[in-house]
Structure 1
Amino acid sequence: MKNSIRLKITAGYVLLIACLLIAVMFLMNQISTLQTARNALLTQETKVQNLTSNLEKSVLNMNRSQRGYIITGDKDYLEPYNEAVKTWEDDLTQLKKNFSTQSIQKERLDAIDRHLQSWIKEAAEPTIRLKTEGDEKGIQNFYTQDQGQSEIEIITQTFTELQDGEANYLKDEMKKLDNRNTNIIWFLIIFLFSCSIIATLVSSFISRSIIKTIKYTTNAIKHISRNEGSLKTRIPKLTKDELGELAVATNELLDEIDHREWLQSNTSKIVLDYQGISSIRQLSNVFLTNIAKITQSSYGAFYVLDEQSSAKMAYTKQSVFANTASDLGRDSFLLGEGVIGQCALDRKPIHLKDMQDFRMLSTGLGELTPREIYIVPILFENQTIAILELGTIQRFSELQIQLMEQLTEQFGSSINSVLRRMEIVQLLNESRAMTEELQAQSEQLQAQSEQLQTQSDELQKQTTQLKKVNTELELRTVDAEEKTLELEAAKESLEKSTAELMQSSKYKSEFLANMSHELRTPLNSILILSEMMSENPNANLTDEDIEYASIIHQSGKDLLDLISDILDLSKIEAGKVDLIFEDVHLQTFPSQLEANFSHFGNENNVAFHVKLDDDVPDTFFTDAMRLQQILKNLLSNAFKFTKEGEVNVQIKKLHPNHEQEQLTDDWVQFDIKDTGIGISEDKQQHIFESFRQADGATVRKYGGTGLGLAICREFSTLLGGTIDVTSTEGEGSTFTLALPNLPNGLKSNDTEKTSAVEEVSETVPPAEITEEAAEASLFVDKHILIVDDDQRNIYSLEKVLHQHQFQIAYVENGFECIDYLTDHPEVDIVLMDIMMPELDGFDTMRIIRNSLELEVPIIALTAKAMKSDREKCIAAGASDYLSKPFDINQLLSVLRVWLSQKEENHSWKNSSN
């Protein structure tokens, strides 16, 4: 029978537990009573808070809806008002029931009832009626007298008092519960103190029964220590309790450490043996012989990638172990050929067990069949550079397999180093041969030089007569050489600066392309799925869900516009931006700005006002999109740096100065004023530079890239205007945007239609199918293969294509695509992502076209938007090209074109046959 420590301790604690039961039952009863009271109080408070919030929300909805209808005249604004009118009285009645014992709170609810009824009767209903009747003058008179505003303020103040009163009531009740909780805690402290005394006595008795067993284990550990940490010593199991189990676990730990030392020592031995070897065959022999002996392998073979072979990715045998009379192993193999070729392709070890009908291993007494085969790839820079294959008539242990995998992890770099060294030696030999040949030629030239020297002596006499003339020419030559050196120095400096500028431009283009790819990939899924939801094809979404989907889709488009703006920054610097001067209706700007930015003010309790002067013209010619982007950036900054106060926008007519009058007499000024943190005078000009803000503290506290104001300045210049700032630190800032009215645009801004960074437009071959029946029959049961490593893109594409009755399959990399097309020739079209791990889209398309010789249409999909990406895709074998994020209709149009073309070709071939 096992005398466990648990049994001993349990026996000692039986008496203690019996003593605890009575006290625990008492504590449970007290805690349950306290918890019930607390839960009831919290339930009551939650219900009151919900009803109060609903009632306050109804009041705000009525007020906002009524004002929205008065401003816009759109009856849709009255829906929240009408709904709130129907529900607020029910919420008020429920609140009164919950405040039945609180007379002060009931009086406050009565006050809310009176003032709200008064507001509806005297302010809301009359103004709605006036707006419905089109009496704008009556509405203006009504708001001039400010009728109803005082009622709303009183209601708001009463709500605050109501919430404060409820908080005080909850605080008093919680204090009573805390007093009861304190009494229970004191009882618990006394009780625990008593239990501690009892536990001390019991543990003292039990510890004496355990100490003898611990002494045996301690003596065994000291024995290991006296033998200088010999891991061969094991702790005997003298007891049948947990300490005995501890001895067993310790012995297992010593076994594991012994295994690790075995791995480390053998690894170090093999590595030291092949250090300094410069021949790949000798390196292979040393490595294979050592690892075969250590792992007790019966035979082995070692193959290395032959870079000189005419066949692509061919591996040749460099070394064997325990070779037989019939020459062990094949001389070479290709990538993917046989089991060993598949191991090189997959870059993963293959372990074959219980072999039958396999080649015999030859010994002095006869031949044996290997029981297990272990094939492991040796990698360098994620490419299989060599293959190790070992066989044994026994079994490979886990320790031996770990040794093989551990050695092959770093052996690839050694193989590559030797291969490169051999290549350098070969080049050196070739260089020596060329040197000898040059030396022979040099001797021939020496002989010719002696002949020339004789002729030179004859000419020396004639040269003497020309020395005087040469002296003057030399003086002029020295002067010319000095000037030439100065010009060469200037040329070198200019070339160096040009090279640095070209490198900077290259880095910038790569950065913008990579940034575009990283942002467009998730945007593709967001735009496709949100557009599908907003269309509600299954009619299972509510109007609110459809509105949410539309907002998500619009937000995705806004983010896409932002990406385009960042790409436009490069166009601005290159002076290659397209401007479209069109009429802008300034009268609608106040409502647009309030609709787009009021929520910023509401979130931060910052007032927001837009004022349009009476003398501002209704129509103003400029680039509307650039103007809106400038105002959006300026207002976003204003709200970000303003934590209290107000943000004001004033649109007024500007009286131009002499310089401005040369362009036009008609100017408009936009003033964006805030009461934020302000900008010091020495930082006011730096904020318009790219990636700059006022200082480091501003960056850390408020964030931002510093691009917004730089883009604003460049756009204002392109539009013919100016942007300035006046600010006082701690008081606020005013940004002034002045723009001219240019019906015919700026002659100096006839920008080119191309750019250093240009987004590729997706084109579709000229074909149209307008009948829905023809499209339906074209798409039904067509097999589409999606090749993409991003599950978001796969999911969104699958949802879209399923609606059009396509048969869909997907894989996550180029290798899987090749395997799938080989096994499924019925695929009608392939959607190929370009940026994928292991094998990217370019190489995959080349293999499909060149090796597999398939003519299946391939549509390349990529989130990169550089000008050359389309040409790269077509050159690699793509039939067409779309950049992410793409429109659903655009994708369907491309599919329709290529599927139609495929059916036409199929029909033509059938008729020809």
Structure 2
Amino acid sequence: MQAVNAIDPLRFRRIIQRNVALPLLAGLATAVAFVALIVYLVSTMSWAEHSERVIGDAYELLRIQADRESSVRGFLLNGDEPSLSTYEVGKPRFAAQLQTLNGLVIDNPPQIERLARVRAIAAQWDASTAEAIRLRRNHDSVLATVENERGNASADAIRREFSDFLTEELRLRQERTAAARQLTVVTVAVFLALTLLVNGLLAWLGRREMTSLSSTYDDALRGQAEQSQALAEQVWLRSGQRLLAESGMGKEALAEVGGAMLDCLAGYLSASVATLYVRDTREGALRRVATFGFGDESAYNVPLLQDGQTLVGQAAASRRVIELKDAPAGYLKVESGLGSTTPASLLIAPIDASGRINGVVELGFMRALLPRDNEFLSRVSSTMGDLVEGAVSRERLQESYSQSQQLNHELQVQQEELRVANEGLEERGRALMDSQTRLEAQQVELEQTNVQLEEYARRLETQKSELERAQGDLKRNADRLAQASRYKSEFLANMSHELRTPLNSSLILAKLLQQNRSGNLSEEQVRYAATIHASNTDLLSLINDILDLSKVEAGQIQLMLETVPLEGLLASLRETFTPLAREKHVALSIDRLPGVAEQFTTDGQRVLQILRNLLSNALKFTSQGEVSLTVSPVDAGSVRIDVRDTGIGIAEDKLDMIFEAFQQADGSTSRQYGGSGLGLSISRELARLLGGRIAVASEPGVGSVFTLWLPLDSTAAVDSEAQAVQALANASASAAQAGAQARRDSAVLTTADTYTTTAPAHAPVHARAATPPTSAPSHGEGAQPIDDDRDQRTHGSRAILVIEDDLPFAEILRDLVHELQFDFLHAADAATGFAMVKDQAPVAVLLDVGLPDRSGLSVLEWLKSDPGTRHIPVHIVSATDHADKALHLGAIGYTLKPTARSTLEAAIRRLESRLEQRVKRVLVIEDDHAMRESIRALLVGDGVEIVAVGTLADAHAQIAQGAFDCIVTDLTLPDGTGYDLLETLAGEAGVAPLPVIVYTGRMLSDDDEQRLRRYSKSIIIKGARSPERLLDEVTLFLHSVESSLAPEQQRMLRAVRQRDDTFEGKTILLAEDDVRNIFALSHVIEPLGAKLLIARNGREALDLLDGKDDVDLVLMDVMMPEMDGLAAMRALRANPRLARLPVIALTAKAMADDRMRCLEAGADDYVSKPIDVDKLVSLCRVWLRK
């Protein structure tokens, strides 16, 4: 009642007055502020429009002046009077526009002064222009141009004045706009702040008054209600605690006590489901002992819970009651005979017995939890703990009694087991006695066996004496055979020399004619040269077959065992025989069946020789149909290779004869097919040495099948053959010890030349010379390529070839290439990649450097050396940094792995932009005008834009204006040097490397060249051949298609490619007595750029070397008059000054020991005649680089 009387009616009236008057005042102030703001903004906008008009009129004046200047320039250039119309019309317009502009800025004295200066300068320009027009009308173009240049200076001054004028107007407009914007923002902000403050103050005052009035009534009513509720709660809690204590009385078992407790709790708290967990005294876990209202689907199937496990374990661990409100559907089911439902909430409470948690009770309710539920369980926790503890103690007593009964029973069982074990020991003792008896009987038998072995030993002694006599006969026969073999080998070596010497020059000259480098031979003459070369090659093959046969018969074949990839072997056969089969219109298939090993250990060259013989015969005797080679597995240790043909076949009575030397199935004088009959004989012997064999099945008119069986590892077979040969050699050596010293030396030499081999795990006895490839390689061992689009091209010519052996990375690139709308091609090694470039014609290549068979840089070099592929852009993606080398060889870019996907995408997009680029831009920097124009004429062509400048400043300006694909620069420039340009380009961050070719007439010192090499690998000294080299370098960096160049440019490129940078400027000494060989070799080496010195024998060669220090390489023939090549090489190596000079030996004997003799005499490498030109050039290139 007192609270009601405390309400004052005057207070309500004051509150209403404040809430009405204050908003009205605030609205009035807002209206005044907005009116003032709008007036100011209108004024500011008028000034902004004034500034815009001034700026527009100024630009119009500039446009009129520019039109007048263009009109005057047109007249001065062509003398056309009508072109002066714009100039004459623009003069009054310019004056009128200037006067208008002057009136607009009358309030700005600095602008008035600028316009006055413009008017004066315009008058000067008009005077100069009028004079120039007069002179041009008098046909004095030179003076008119000079006068016009003077007028241009006045025009530039006008533009500068207008630039200052516009800058000032723009500044004024910006200041006025900024001031208006700032005032608007401040005004709005202040208004919003005042509005929020007034409204907030009114709300706060009103709420405070109303709150104070209502709080008086609330306090009185709340106090009375709380007191009544507290008394009722206390009565309810005590009643429940009493009922729970009474429920557990009279129960013995823990389950009974638990059930009674749950029944009491569920009834008193109106719980629908309940469970009780009690701590197991042995395991320490909580075990469920009683439930209330649980059905089959409601029971949780974990009877034991650890502390902290589930909410039950967590309640025990935290020692507090856990409430779960709004249980989700399906969490727990309450079931009755009529149906089931989900409880609304759960209550989980720990049970405390004297401070120790010995259980947890969980209750589920169909209603929401009340605060008294939690308090009730907290109060009865100790009561429940005492009831549980009592039941547990009773059960523990019962368990102790049961355990004592169990121990008595186990003791009786152990006594029985001990009795059985004693009986077993007695049985083992009897078995040991029986074993001793058997051992004594075996000793008697061994004594009898020793007597028999002594008799066998006497017989073996007799046989040994007989074998020693037979061995003596064999030694004498072996000595005679060795002498005969030596005579035969010497004869074959001499005949080989006499045959190979003329054949050498014939092969070399025929090859040179076939290449037709000068282009002066007709197609028919080139075919004649090709026929001569092919015939000489056949003759060389026959000579080699005869030598191989002699080596086989003498047991002097050297096998080099290695791990041979089967796919590489088959690829080499495809590469060799596919053109031959296509020429004969015969189908050729070379396949391997599933299950064949990827590689095997053998002599790859000899296996290739066997298969080439078989395939060559099959193609020779098949005029139509097909020839096939199939590799199939036999067992775990061998492989089978079948060569089938549909040729003429072989009669059954001729099958054995064809494997004999110099025998053929058709040996008549009228036979249709040629041949020496040596191939199959050699192949059979080689197969036998490798541990395999060859068989044949044939039917005349149907075809033949030659089958080659080979072991996957030939080491064992080769070792057994080598042991047999070594045994024979040792026997010969022992027999020779009783002879003279010369005969003993001969036997040693024969032994050294016998059959030798190496296992794969060891280095070969005589390492073969390393010869780099001069053309595309054959397929080598490597990872199998992943699936690509070679058979289902969907984007036409838009295909990118990825040469990468990392298959997961290749798959990433495949996805990226497809995403960018390109077809994807893949090769896992260098050889396959080069072949796919030729076959598939991709538009771009992504190339790895670390390939399994060769370096990716070799692939890049092959591609850029081939006129048909050098235009294809190549981007290197590798884990090793070879960027300088790759970019010099012609790569468009270089990316280091690992790299981001965005970087790879940018690289491919750069390739795409290069493909879409129609015009290639070249910047030529040369101060000499005539030289600059000659370079422009040299490089100009379709799709090439040449930008030529004479100074470094102009070069920088051109580079800043647009991108270039290549730069050609001189070192000496008027305003700087080429070094400055190179250093500037190298220092620009974020700019892709730009190919720069240094084209200079200066002779460079070593320091200068080293400095240049840091920025550019392409340095060309101006000379007789420098234009060709410059054209070659520029077309490389522009990726130009050579066939699209002008004929003269193509001719220059062919000429420069005949020369080799490795040979350029080098001096090579050729020691050769045969004039034909000198003539042939000089026509091979000199066109490559090297200088050739000639010596007719070893003594002349040494004399030339004594007087010269600039010889870079020596080609030394072995057989020469006066002093042979071996003696000359020994004398050369004895001279310390020449000890490191590279020497390549040339010999026509080509016997087994020739190579070793040359290497022992001091040769660095070895080439047999007839000389393979490509191999000789490759060897020279290797040793010249070293």
TM range (shorter): 0.3 to 0.5
TM-score (structure 1 length as normaliser): 0.34
Return the index of the structure with the highest Cα Rg. 2
TM-score (structure 2 length as normaliser): 0.27
